[in-house]
């Protein structure tokens, strides 16, 4: 079945990037001149997704406004003949069919995904974590969709993480099938001892899930951090049907931590049409003085 629906969970509290996230969602942090979540929606659209559900909560109204029309702004731009910017601004509201639902309590990523049940229905769907921006010519979500089409199982987007950091992530038991594609048969969220670490491969930011995940989430008990963990539900899938894992190409920026936010800004600014050259000069000056 063709994958045309995506879910973007964006209801986390963003405590690692406080105080910026006290009133402003981290998904709206700008990377130069676009909010993080717009890059994510654009990646989904480039991957063939037509319908997107964004999971929000109290205080995330800015996300809805960003994907809405903005009549006063559009009028001001068109009357000043700022055609390019007018088209960009209107274009954002036409990227895809975008829907919103609130996760009423912040009970974890697994719980957030279960809020998508009615939207998803009985189809496989993509999940793009709202704070993970992945830049690359071949959209990461599309790479996972191709693996779903080839192997017919749920797909995990993976990358290796440094050994010192694995306890903050998930750890997967994987066997290489070919190239950058693996079979995954087990996983654990936030392994706390060396024995728990299955490999340094971790799920980072993207997956494709079959609709069976919702029944599993219904009986998934709170795990690491007292939250209902999506990893725990996916673990049941991995152990029963198996899952495919793709070490996707592209650079991932974690907008949920301060260093990730800065790396995204600096690397994107260096490639930016309008400010790239000027920013490079500035950065060289700064670097020379370090």
Which residues of the chain form contacts with ligand UTP (CB under 6 A)? Answer: 9-16, 55, 103, 106-109, 111-112, 129-131, 256
Q: How many residues does the chain have?
A: 290
Eight-class DSSP state of 220: P
In the complex, the smallest distance separating the C-beta of residue 111 from ligand UTP, rounded to whole angstroms, is: 6
Which residues lie below 8 Å from residue 128, measured CB to CB, with a gap of 6+?
Answer: 6, 7, 8, 40, 43, 44, 141, 205, 206
Q: Based on CB atoms, which residue is closest to ligand UTP, 71 or 225?
A: 225
Q: Are strands 5-9 and 51-56 parallel, antiparallel or unpaired?
A: parallel
| Shorter beta-carbon distance to ligand UTP: residue 12 or 124 | 12
Distance (Å, whole) CA 20 – CA 13:
11
Residue number, 13 or 161, with CB nearest to ligand UTP: 13
Least spacing, CB of residue 263 vs ligand UTP, in Å: 16
Which residues 6+ apart lie within 8 Å of 279 measured at CB?
269, 270, 272
CB of 119 to ligand UTP, least distance (A): 14
CA distance 198 to 24: 36
As measured in angstroms, the least distance from the Cβ of 9 to ligand UTP is 3
Cα separation, 36 vs 69, whole angstroms: 19
For 123-138, b/e burial (b = at least 16 CB within 10 A) is: ebbbbbbbbbbbbeee
Query: Taking the complex as a whole, how short is the minimal distance between the CB of residue 243 and ligand UTP, in angstroms?
Result: 19
103 or 181: CB nearest ligand UTP: 103
Cα separation, 25 vs 27, in Å, equals: 5
User: Least distance to ligand UTP from the beta carbon of 56, Å?
Assistant: 8
Q: Give phi and psi for 58, each to the nearest 5.
A: -55, 140
Shortest CB 203 distance to ligand UTP, Å: 11
CB of 109 to ligand UTP, least distance (A): 4
Considering the complex, state which of residue 11 and residue 188 has its C-beta at the smaller distance from ligand UTP. 11
Residue in the structure block whose two tokens are 């006290």: 22
Cis preceding linkage at 128, omega within 30: no
What letter does residue 168 receive in the DSSP assignment?
A: G
Our CB check for ligand UTP shows the closer of 115 and 147 to be: 115
Q: Count the alpha carbons within 13 Å of 236 in the hemisphere toward its beta carbon.
A: 17
Residue 97, helix vs strand vs coil: strand
Nearest residue to ligand UTP, scored by beta-carbon proximity: 12
Nearer to ligand UTP by Cβ, of 106 and 199: the residue is: 106
Q: Quick one: 86 or 130, whose CB is closer to ligand UTP?
A: 130
């Amino acid at each position: 079945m063709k994958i045309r629906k995506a879910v973007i969970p964006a209801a986390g509290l963003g405590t690692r990037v406080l105080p910026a996230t006290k009133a402003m969602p981290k998904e709206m942090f700008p990377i130069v001149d676009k909010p993080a979540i717009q890059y994510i929606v654009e990646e989904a659209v480039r991957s063939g997704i037509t319908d997107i559900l964004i999971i929000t909560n109290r205080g995330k109204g800015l996300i809805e406004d960003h994907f809405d029309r903005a009549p006063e702004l559009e009028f001001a731009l068109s009357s000043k003949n700022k055609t390019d910017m007018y088209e960009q601004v209107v274009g954002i509201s036409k990227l895809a069919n975008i829907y919103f639902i609130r996760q009423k309590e912040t009970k974890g990523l697994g719980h957030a995904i279960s809020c998508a049940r009615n939207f998803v229905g009985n189809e496989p769907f993509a999940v793009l974590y709202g704070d993970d921006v992945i830049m690359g010519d071949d959209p990461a979500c599309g790479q996972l969709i191709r693996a779903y089409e080839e192997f017919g199982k749920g797909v995990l987007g993976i990358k290796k993480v440094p050994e010192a950091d694995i306890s903050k992530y998930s750890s997967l038991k994987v066997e290489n099938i070919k190239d950058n594609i693996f079979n995954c048969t087990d996983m654990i969220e936030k392994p706390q001892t060396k024995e728990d670490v299955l490999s340094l491969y971790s799920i980072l930011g993207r997956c494709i899930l079959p609709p069976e995940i919702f029944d599993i989430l219904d009986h998934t008990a709170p795990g690491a951090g007292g939250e209902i963990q999506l990893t725990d539900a996916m673990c049941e899938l991995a152990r029963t049907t198996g899952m495919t894992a793709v070490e996707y190409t592209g650079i991932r920026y974690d907008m949920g931590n301060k260093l990730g936010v800065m790396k995204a800004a600096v690397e994107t600014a260096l490639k930016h049409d309008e400010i790239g050259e000027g920013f490079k000069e500035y950065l060289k000056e700064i670097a020379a003085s370090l």
